[in-house]
């Protein structure tokens, strides 16, 4: 199956959200009928088991960020259970929905910057019985935002690097510094990722500053780099892979999964892990406190099951957290974009939660885009 | 004493009065409540972690909006809206005038042609322009000009999106200008340009100005066109509203809402002045 571009998913989310909202409204009624009755086998349960759990799992997710038949398979494995995917468009949207529908959203896809915000809101629940967590490699567990993995089940990760067209760029960039230095040579043919954290954190890495630094001088240096390169940009876009594959741009800052799709589309596209290192994200499933926690745990466990997990990764073509999973496509395993070397992983760091300092970061990004 | 209360007109008003109350309540709830919600938030502070709003009466969101970061966006948005309105006036007024002079089937066909693009989703039309302006697309192939992701593409997208919305009210106003007045002007020796300048346009001015205000209002809040055709490099007020104001910084969104309301109010005052002048002229 053709992998889905996550950027396209964002665009699709705009269309899907109203539909998901309507679907959710419909499911609310069903939940009211089954979820609130005293005899509901789901409420307060702790041990997942097929046939014992019913109801609808409201899953806050990127549109389609799952296997092609994950939800149908879950419904088949747990008769009486269904999954209602609710699309979110940004991390802020996740927070808004988790607040506005507290007790109604069961499972949410989060990263290390959103998880602490959910913790601050007090809406997280501890995972129930998720034996398939053992399939996740240890290196993705015990993160700063959830050291004991009490509420976070890692599912996928990603990183930002450089893509370029080897048929159109004479000297390939190997570092962030070269990428920015070369931009004037390819003025109007360079694309920048439209993700504030991805761009700013990687510029901080290039400058040798701490990831997520909100030091005034560091942020001023980041703004200087970005405003200097802006006149040479073709676009600041979420679909940079597509632009490079099509030849509209010759090089770009690009996320790994988007790069994988681009180089699948056009063999002249090359992905580079910059020599200074990279910043990326680790995503996972978290359970929000509510009446269906046992069912939610069963869903998370089902999602991580070997075959289901492989179907998810094969569908979205994302870097994965189950390196020993034999069902993941050989082509993806062989791709250094999706399955990076130990050297690359060693230089990889994750975006950090900025807390009250977030507006300082926001101001620099807005200044760059407004310039 | 007067028999005014017995006039049919007033009797109708008496009967309709209670019936329209639910409608007005609905209008108030649908229109004013969301606006009031955003205006209230413009005097608050957002918690960047939980997105909770603390209403403190602060004016910080307004200071932020007028700060160095967003000032270029304000200027660019107002400038682009002004250019869009001007271009719609220049393109749309002759088109509306020509439309008003047609009759029968030709008028119907012309009206359909003007309205036809509006039957397609706005977003779809903008993405269609992206294809037209893209590398290897028809425009580049024919002219060699690479417009996509540049300010002219944004302007082109906005003009083509809004010119039909200008033409319609302008056409209605122009079509209502009594032909007898134009004929009277002609009988008194006024040539075509003089008829146009002293009779037709002054009488149709409320419709023309209404169209201009509609275009101005929509242009000022536009965010899809700059995102799709501007490549994310041409930031407008609508983009900040969508990216910040609807998410992490609702107070800033509230301040932008107030700014837009004030701009629209200024437009409303202009319309009112033109209407009054037109009424005097008539």
Q: What is the pLDDT of residues B119-136, one digit of tens each?
A: 888 889 999 999 999 888
Q: Cα(first)–Cα(last) distance of chain A, in Å?
A: 41
pLDDT of residue A14: 41
B173 in A contact zone (CB under 8 Å)? no
- Give B-chain residues touching A236 at CB under 8 angstroms: 231-233
- CA distance linking residue A172 with residue A186, whole number of Å: 12
pLDDT of residue A1: 37
Dig out the tokens for A239 from the structure: 């679909």
Domain boundaries, chain A: 51-157+281-339, 160-278+351-370
Q: What is the pLDDT of residues A232-269, one digit of tens each?
A: 999 999 889 999 999 989 999 999 989 999 999 999 99
The architecture of the domain spanning A160-278+351-370 is 3-Layer(aba) Sandwich (3.40)
Residue B82: band (very low, low, confident or very high) from pLDDT cuts 50, 70, 90: very high
Say yes or no for a CB contact (<8 Å) between A99 and B51: yes
Say yes or no for a CB contact (<8 Å) between A120 and B73: no
Percentage of chain B exceeding pLDDT 70: 93
Residue of A nearest to B230 (CA): A235
- Give B-chain residues touching A93 at CB under 8 angstroms: 247
Average pLDDT over residues A161-176: 96
Say yes or no for a CB contact (<8 Å) between B49 and A116: yes
pLDDT of residue A158: 93
Residue B205: band (very low, low, confident or very high) from pLDDT cuts 50, 70, 90: confident
The CATH code for residues A51-157+281-339 is 3.40.190.10
Quick check: do A51-157+281-339 and A160-278+351-370 share a fold?
Answer: yes
The shortest CB-CB distance from A370 to any of B48, B149, B235 is to B235
Q: What is the pLDDT of residues A301-325, one digit of tens each?
A: 999 999 999 999 999 999 999 999 9
Say yes or no for a CB contact (<8 Å) between B249 and A362: yes
Could you tell me how far CA B92 lies from the centroid of its own chain? 13
A370 in B contact zone (CB under 8 Å)? yes
pLDDT of residue B9: 53
Looking at CA atoms only, how far is residue B281 from chain A in angstroms? 45
pLDDT of residue A3: 39
pLDDT of residue B274: 73
- The dihedrals phi and psi of B154, each to the nearest 5 degrees, come to -65, -45
- Give DSSP secondary structure letters for chain B: ---GGGSHHHHHHHHHHHHHHHHHHHHIIIIIHHHHHHHHHTTEEE-TTT--EEE----HHHHHHTSTTTHHHHHHHHHHHHHHHHHHHHHHHHHHHHHHH--HHHHHHHHHHHHGGGGS-HHHHHHHHHHHHSTTSHHHHHH----TTSHHHHHHHHHHHHHHHHHHHHHHHHHTS-HHHHHHHHHTT--HHHHIIIIIHHHHHHHHHHHHHHHHHHHHT--HHHHHTSTT-S--HHHHIIIIITTTTHHHHHHHHHHHHHHHHHHHHHHHHHHHHHHHH-
Considering only CA atoms, which of A195, A2, A211 is closest in space to residue A89? A195
**Mean pLDDT score of chain B, rounded to an integer?**
86
> Is the distance from CB of B223 to CB of B123 less than 8 angstroms?
no
pLDDT of residue B10: 54
Looking at CA atoms only, how far is residue B101 from chain A in angstroms? 41
> Is the distance from CB of A318 to CB of A81 less than 8 angstroms?
no
Beta-sheet strands, E only, within chain A: 55-61, 81-87, 107-111, 124-125, 152-165, 190-193, 233-237, 251-255, 269-272, 278-288, 348-350
Average pLDDT over residues A41-70: 73
Q: What is the pLDDT of residues B225-254, one digit of tens each?
A: 999 999 988 889 999 988 888 778 899 999
Burial of A329-349, coded b for 16+ CB within 10 Å and e otherwise, reads beebeebebbbbeeebbebbe
Residue B177, number of CB atoms within 10 A of its CB: 20
Residue A190: band (very low, low, confident or very high) from pLDDT cuts 50, 70, 90: very high
Considering only CA atoms, which of A170, A196, A193, A159 is closest in space to residue A250? A170
Looking at CA atoms only, how far is residue A224 from chain B in angstroms? 14
Percentage of chain A exceeding pLDDT 90: 77
pLDDT of residue B11: 52
Q: Give the predicted TM-score (pTM) of the model.
A: 0.80
Say yes or no for a CB contact (<8 Å) between A90 and B149: no
Write down all domains in chain B, each with its CATH number in brackets: 79-244+257-281 (1.10.3720.10)
């Amino acid at each position: 199956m053709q992998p889905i571009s996550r950027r396209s998913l964002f665009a699709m989310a705009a269309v899907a959200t109203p539909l998901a909202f309507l679907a959710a409204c419909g499911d609310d009624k069903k939940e009211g009928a089954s979820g609130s009755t005293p005899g509901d086998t789901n409420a307060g349960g702790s041990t997942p088991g097929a046939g014992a759990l019913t109801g609808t799992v409201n899953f806050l997710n990127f549109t389609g960020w799952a296997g092609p038949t994950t939800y149908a398979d879950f419904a088949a494995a747990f008769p009486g259970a269904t999954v209602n995917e609710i699309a979110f468009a940004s991390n802020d949207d996740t927070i808004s929905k988790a607040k506005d529908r507290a007790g109604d959203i069961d499972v949410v896809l989060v990263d290390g910057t959103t998880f602490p915000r959910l913790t601050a809101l007090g809406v997280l629940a501890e995972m129930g019985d998720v034996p398939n967590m053992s399939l996740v490699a240890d290196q993705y567990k015990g993160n700063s935002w959830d050291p004991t993995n009490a509420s976070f089940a890692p599912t996928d990760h990603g990183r930002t690097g450089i893509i370029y067209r080897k048929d159109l760029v004479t000297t390939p960039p190997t570092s962030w510094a070269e990428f920015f230095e070369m931009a004037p040579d390819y003025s109007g043919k360079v694309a920048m990722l439209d993700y504030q954290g991805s761009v700013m954190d990687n510029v901080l890495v290039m400058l040798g500053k701490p990831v997520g630094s909100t030091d005034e001088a560091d942020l001023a240096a980041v703004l200087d780099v970005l405003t200097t390169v802006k006149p040479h940009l073709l676009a600041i876009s979420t679909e940079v892979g597509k632009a490079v594959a099509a030849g509209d741009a010759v090089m770009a800052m690009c996320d790994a999964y988007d790069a994988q799709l681009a180089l699948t589309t056009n063999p002249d596209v090359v992905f580079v892990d910059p020599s200074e290192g990279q910043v990326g994200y680790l995503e996972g499933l978290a359970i929000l406190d509510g009446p269906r926690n046992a069912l939610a745990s069963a869903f998370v466990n089902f999602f991580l099951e070997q075959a289901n997990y492989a179907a998810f990764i094969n569908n979205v073509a994302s870097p994965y957290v189950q390196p020993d999973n034999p069902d993941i496509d050989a082509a993806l395993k062989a791709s250094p974009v999706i399955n990076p070397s130990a050297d690359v992983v060693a230089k990889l760091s994750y975006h950090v939660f900025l807390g009250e300092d977030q507006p300082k970061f926001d101001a620099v990004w807005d200044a760059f885009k407004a310039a | 004493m007067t028999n005014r209360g017995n006039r049919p007109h007033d009797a109708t008003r008496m009967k309709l009065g209670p019936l329209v109350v639910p409608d007005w309540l609905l209008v108030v709830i649908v229109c004013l409540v969301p606006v009031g919600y955003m205006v209230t938030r413009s005097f608050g502070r957002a918690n960047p972690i939980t997105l909770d709003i603390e209403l403190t009466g602060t004016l910080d969101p307004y200071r932020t909006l007028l700060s160095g970061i967003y000032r270029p966006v304000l200027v660019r948005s107002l400038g682009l809206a002004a250019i869009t309105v001007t271009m719609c006036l220049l393109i749309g007024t002759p088109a509306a005038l020509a439309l008003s002079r047609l009759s029968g089937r030709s008028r119907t066909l012309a009206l359909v042609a003007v309205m036809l693009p509006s039957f397609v989703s706005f977003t779809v039309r903008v993405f269609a322009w992206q294809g037209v302006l893209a590398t290897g697309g028809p425009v580049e192939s024919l002219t060699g000009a690479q417009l996509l992701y540049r300010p002219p593409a944004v302007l082109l997208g906005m003009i083509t999106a809004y010119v039909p919305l200008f033409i319609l009210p302008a056409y209605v106003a122009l079509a209502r200008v009594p032909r007898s007045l134009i004929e009277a002007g002609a009988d008194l020796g006024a040539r075509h340009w003089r008829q146009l300048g002293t009779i037709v346009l002054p009488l149709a001015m409320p419709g023309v100005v209404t169209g201009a205000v509609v275009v101005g209002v929509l242009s000022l809040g536009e965010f899809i066109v700059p995102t799709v055709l501007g490549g994310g490099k041409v930031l407008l007020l609508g983009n900040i509203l969508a990216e910040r104001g609807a998410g992490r910084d609702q107070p800033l969104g509230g301040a932008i809402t107030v700014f837009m309301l004030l701009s629209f109010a200024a437009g409303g005052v202009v319309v009112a002045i033109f209407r009054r002048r037109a009424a005097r002229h008539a």
